[in-house]
Structure 1
Amino acid sequence: MSYDLAVWEGDRPADHRSARRTLRDLYERYLDDEIEVAPSERITAYVAALLERWPDITEGDGETSPWSVGPLIAGASGPVIYFGMAWSRAEEASSYAAAVADSMGLICFDVQEDRIRNCAH
């Protein structure tokens, strides 16, 4: 079981309900589809920023990684990424991931809490 976040490009949703709808639409269009879409430049840069802090779980020192799947970029398609982290590392890793998303002008949605995350959370 993992702690999951979704991060995407776009305007900040007005509320958590709007964010949930946006995520559902993005997921259906980009992640739950048989058509593969390369991750956007901004999402690729976001993943690179996360991997600067912790290695990909598929790398040699991946045992120190909080990410629950790898390669991390595999969860990305077009303007969205959906990824998980180990529950034991979720507080630290999700806070960092949300802060990086915020600093890059991306939207971070906490799937477990069903709400938009920001770097203050």
Structure 2
Amino acid sequence: MSYDLAVWEGERPADDRAAGRIWRGLYERYLDSDDGEVEEPPSERIAAYVAALLERWCDITEDEAASSPWSSGPLIGNASGPVIYFGMSWSMAEEASAYAADLANSMGLVCFDVQQNGLRPWAGRPVGGRR
């Protein structure tokens, strides 16, 4: 089981509901293939975001010390076009998701918490916490 985030290029939606609609559209267009393969190479901005995440923690495919928070790899394999949908292990989800959300925000990307159906980052609310 993993804790999942979606990050994409675009303007920050007005609210969580709008973000959910955008997320579903992006998922259907870029990630929902019959064979499970990503259809489009990641955009430059998404590739740069993944590279920045991997500067903080190594890819799970390269992790010999079990210190990577990513639940699947290679991490860039979860990206298609202007979107990435990736999971983190629950044991590191609070730290890794906060970092991933803050990083996305700093790079002008939208971060969406799939479990909470809400935009990230949010102030003062822990992973799995109520709004």
Give ranges in structure 1 of 5+ residues lacking alignment: none
CA 1:62 to 1:105, structure 2 compared with 1: closer, same or farther past 3 Å? Answer: farther
TM-score (norm 1): 0.95
Q: Note the aligned Cα RMSD (angstroms).
A: 1.4
Partner deviation per Cα, 1:16-39 (whole Å, 9 max, x = no partner)? 000000000000000003571000
Q: Distance in 2 between matches of 1:9 and 1:66?
A: 23
Partner secondary structure for residue 90 of structure 1: helix
CA 1:76 to 1:62, structure 2 compared with 1: closer, same or farther past 3 Å? Answer: farther
Identity of aligned residues (%): 70
TM-score (norm 2): 0.88
Q: Distance in 2 between matches of 1:113 and 1:46?
A: 22
Q: Structure 1 residue 71: deviation in Å?
A: 0.3
Contact 1:99 1:119 in 2 (8 A): no
Partner letter of residue 21 of structure 2? Answer: R
Q: Distance in 1 between matches of 2:44 and 2:65?
A: 24
Partner secondary structure for residue 19 of structure 2: helix
Partner secondary structure for residue 84 of structure 1: strand
Contact 1:8 1:106 in 2 (8 A): yes
- Count of aligned pairs: 121
Q: Which one of the candidate residues 73, 79, 83 is aligned to 1:76?
A: 79
Give ranges in structure 2 of 5+ residues lacking alignment: 125-131
Within-5 A mapping of 1:89-108: 89-108=92-111
Stretches (4+) displaced over 3 A: none
- Which residue is 2:31 aligned to? 31
- Which residue is 1:50 aligned to? 53
Partner letter of residue 117 of structure 2? Answer: D
Q: Distance in 1 between matches of 2:31 and 2:65?
A: 24
CA 1:29 to 1:99, structure 2 compared with 1: closer, same or farther past 3 Å? Answer: same
Q: Structure 1 residue 113: deviation in Å?
A: 1.0
